[in-house]
Amino acid sequence: MKSIILYGSRYGSARRYAHQLSKQTGIPAFSYREAPPLSELNTVVYIGALYAGGVLGLTKTLRGRSFGKGQRLIIVTVGLADPEIVQNRITIRDSLQKQIPAELYDSAVIFHLRGAIDYQALSLGHRTVMTLLHRFLKTKSAQEWSEEDRALMATYGKHADFVDFTSLQPIIDEVLRDTEQIN
C-alpha cells in the first residue's frame, strides 16, 4: 500500500469525505486511530474535522513523523466556517501552523472543505461549549463577529449539512497528480 487516506471525525462529515475520496481514487481510507506506520507510504491524505481551530487527530498522527523525499502529505480540514471566505482560510491556516511542525506545514498541500453540524447529535460537552459561545456572541454586536462567529450563529441549534462531494475535485486532482508515477 503506497497511498492512504486517514480521517479524524467525530460526527461523520470528515469520514464521509474520506470514504468518497477513497471511492473516487481507489486509495484505502482509515480512521487515524487505525493508522498503519506512515514511513512506508508515499502519499498520506489527512482529512480532519476542526474543533476549536485544531484538526482532530492530526497532532497524534504526525507526532515524531517526518516526511522524506518522495513522500507527500496532503491535509484537508473540514469545518463549519465557509472556506470560500478568505478570512476563514487564514484563520484555519494560522491554527494549523501552530499544530504541526514547521517543516511538515511547509511541505504539506492544504485544502479546506465545509462540513456539517446537527445539534441533536452533539455530545453534552460540545453542546455546552456551543451554548456558551452563542451566549457570549449575543452580548456583542453582529459587526464585531468574525466570519467563523457568523457561521456559528447562522447554524446554532440547527441541522446544517454543507458536505459537497464536488468540492473534492481539486483534492482528487492533487492526489492523482503524481500517484501513478510514485506507485
Binding characters for ligand FMN, 56-85, by CB under 6 A (x = yes): ----------------------xxxx----
The dihedral built from the CA positions of residue 150, 165, 18 and 107, taken in this order, carries a sign that is negative
Cβ closest to ligand FMN, residue 80 vs residue 100 = 80
Place of cell 511542525: 101
Cβ closest to ligand FMN, residue 17 vs residue 67 = 17
Distances (CA, A) of 182 to 7, 105, 179: 22, 21, 5
Task: Please pick, from the candidates 31, 38, 51, 153, the single residue that binds ligand FMN as defined by CB under 6 A.
Answer: 51
Distance in angstroms (rounded) separating the CA atoms of residues 178 and 183: 8
CB nearest ligand FMN: which residue? 115
Cβ closest to ligand FMN, residue 46 vs residue 67 = 46
Quick one: which of 63, 122, 112, 116 has its CA closest to 91? 112
Q: Do 19 and 168 meet the contact criterion of CB atoms below 8 Å apart?
A: no
Distances (CA, A) of 123 to 47, 54, 130, 146: 21, 18, 11, 25
State in angstroms the smallest separation of the CB of 79 from ligand FMN: 2
Task: Please pick, from the candidates 115, 137, 168, 175, the single residue that binds ligand FMN as defined by CB under 6 A.
Answer: 115
Distance in angstroms (rounded) separating the CA atoms of residues 15 and 136: 31
Binding characters for ligand FMN, 3-42, by CB under 6 A (x = yes): ------xxxxxxx---------------------------
Cβ closest to ligand FMN, residue 73 vs residue 117 = 117
Distance in angstroms (rounded) separating the CA atoms of residues 111 and 21: 13
- 149 lies in the site for ligand FMN, by CB under 6 A: no
- Residue numbers of the site for ligand FMN (CB under 6 A)? 9-15, 49-53, 78-81, 115-117, 122, 126, 129-130, 148
